[in-house]
Amino acid sequence: MAVTRWVDGFTSAGVAAGIKPSGDLDLGMLVTERPATWAGTFTRNAAAAACVKWNRAHLGHRTRALVVNSGNANACTGRAGRDTVEATAAAAAGQIGCSVDEVLVCSTGPIGVPLDAGLIAGALPAAAGSLTASVEDFSRSILTTDTFPKVSTTLSGGASVTGVAKGAAMIAPNMATMLAFLGTNADASADALQAAVGWAVDRSFNRLCLDGCESTNDSVMVFSTGAGPKLGQDELRAGLLEVCSQLALKMARDAEGGTKLVRIRIEGAGTEGHAAELGRAVARSNLWRAAAHGADPNWGRVLAAMGTVDRQLDLERTSVAIGDEVLYSKGEPTGLLGAAAAAMSGDEFAVSVVLDQGDAAAEILTADLSEEYVTLNAEVTT
């Protein structure tokens, strides 16, 4: 069932501000009825956009409004970029009737292109005038090369959590070019929210590795009205993880140029972190992702990718399967390939590696590398 509404206490809008040359929706606004507690995790890229720095500086404050534009990342845009963020926050504060410090700002799109603050200020009245409980227009307004909006919801401990995200390209560990905004009525402190969102992101968006590029603008932010039940850390984590995982899966299915979802499962690892690290190495391998595109069960590229990050990997204790077919078993090729090739020809398959080192496991999501990915990203955007 498609999710259509925010949790009570949230409203949103999406309008066309003229930032995208196409004229598509490109300005979203998410507003809380009352000042909300919030927390977030952000890109660690040193070239982080001005809006990321603005939001980081406002962690700990309560918030009333989030303004998001697509079609321009406002990253690496110097002083003018910083001025645009401040002007956007001021304009939104005027529309909502709150203080400038209660407004958060996100951007996504090409890097290094000046963003006209006037376009945003000009469209904010229309956004503020069309706020609704529906997620529809907001979820569309934040998209870039995504082909569908991404919305998920869950219940945890009696509290509701709803999230909206955009993904598509530049998806790497540490959440590259992705935005996700979660609203909940859970009653939780900012510190509790921060701990829970960091934990959940590490096990969801940070297990998504599409093209190995970490963006300047990634942000996952969670807003809480506090009007619902008080949640302990476990319930809070469970609720955020469920929504983040659902959104991450939708991003993987909508990878830029991707034609199939690839689940990389590393089992029998000493620690979950090591399992995730090995899985990401496979997901970063252009050679493996190209093989995935061609439905070539090239398990050797899986081993080669892992061998570059774990120099001590013991092949004699390592096995690789694609679908249900074991292709490499504790140091020896099995000679099987047929069922693996068949499994790879669908729109989703899993490659499973068993390490025989311990009991920990992790699953990394990626997509195949297609000619279309190159074509999309070779287009002149500036």
Q: Which residues are catalytic?
A: 177
Among 283, 297, 293, CA closest to 248: 283
CB 319 within 8 A of CB 328: yes
- Contact code string over 32-51 relative to its own copies, x by CB under 8 A: ------------xxxxx---
Name which of 59 and 337 has its Cβ closer to its own copies.
337
Instruction: Give the 3-state secondary structure percentages of the chain, helix then strand then coil, rounded to 5.
Output: 35, 25, 35
Name which of 195 and 315 has its Cβ closer to its own copies.
315
Give the Cα-Cα-Cα angle 149, 152, 154 (nearest 5 degrees).
170
- Positions 7 through 26 that interact with its own copies (CB under 8 A): none
- Positions 316 through 335 that interact with its own copies (CB under 8 A): 327-328, 331-333, 335
- Contact code string over 131-160 relative to its own copies, x by CB under 8 A: ------------------------------
Residue 27 burial (CB < 10 Å; 0-12/13-18/19+)? buried
- Positions 204 through 223 that interact with its own copies (CB under 8 A): 211-216
Candidates 87-95, 116-124, 128-136, 290-298: pick the segment binding its own copies (CB under 8 A): 290-298
CB 251 within 8 A of CB 145: no
CB 123 within 8 A of CB 15: yes
- Contact code string over 225-264 relative to its own copies, x by CB under 8 A: ----------------------------------------
Candidates 75-83, 118-126, 244-252, 267-275: pick the segment binding its own copies (CB under 8 A): 75-83
Helix axis angle for 233-253 and 190-202, nearest 10°, is 40
- Counting contacts by CB under 8 A, is residue 291 touching its own copies? yes
Name which of 50 and 222 has its Cβ closer to its own copies.
50
- Positions 79 through 98 that interact with its own copies (CB under 8 A): 79
Q: What is the DSSP letter of 207?
A: G
- Positions 98 through 117 that interact with its own copies (CB under 8 A): 110-114
Phi, psi for 284 (deg, rounded to 5): -80, -15
d(CA 294, CA 105): 41
Quote the least distance from Cβ 275 to its own copies, whole Å. Answer: 16
- Counting contacts by CB under 8 A, is residue 315 touching its own copies? yes
Exactly one of 184, 285, 319, 352 binds its own copies (CB under 8 A); which one? 285
- Counting contacts by CB under 8 A, is residue 339 touching its own copies? no
CA 368: distance to chain centroid?
18
- Counting contacts by CB under 8 A, is residue 345 touching its own copies? no
Name which of 76 and 195 has its Cβ closer to its own copies.
76
Tell me the number of residues near its own copies by CB under 8 A.
Answer: 74
- Counting contacts by CB under 8 A, is residue 270 touching its own copies? no
Quote the least distance from Cβ 135 to its own copies, whole Å. Answer: 29
- Positions 348 through 367 that interact with its own copies (CB under 8 A): none
Phi, psi for 7 (deg, rounded to 5): -60, 150
Quote the least distance from Cβ 306 to its own copies, whole Å. Answer: 7
Exactly one of 231, 305, 355, 365 binds its own copies (CB under 8 A); which one? 305
d(CA 247, CA 154): 12
Quote the least distance from Cβ 357 to its own copies, whole Å. Answer: 13
Which tokens go with 299?
């398990």
Helix/strand/coil (H, E, C) string of 304-368? HHHHHHCCCCCHHHCEEEECCEEEEECCEECCCCHHHHHHHCCCEEEEEEECCCCCEEEEEEEEC
- Counting contacts by CB under 8 A, is residue 125 touching its own copies? no
Helix axis angle for 272-284 and 299-309, nearest 10°, is 120
Name which of 233 and 381 has its Cβ closer to its own copies.
381
The number of beta carbons lying within 10 Å of the beta carbon of residue 280 is 24
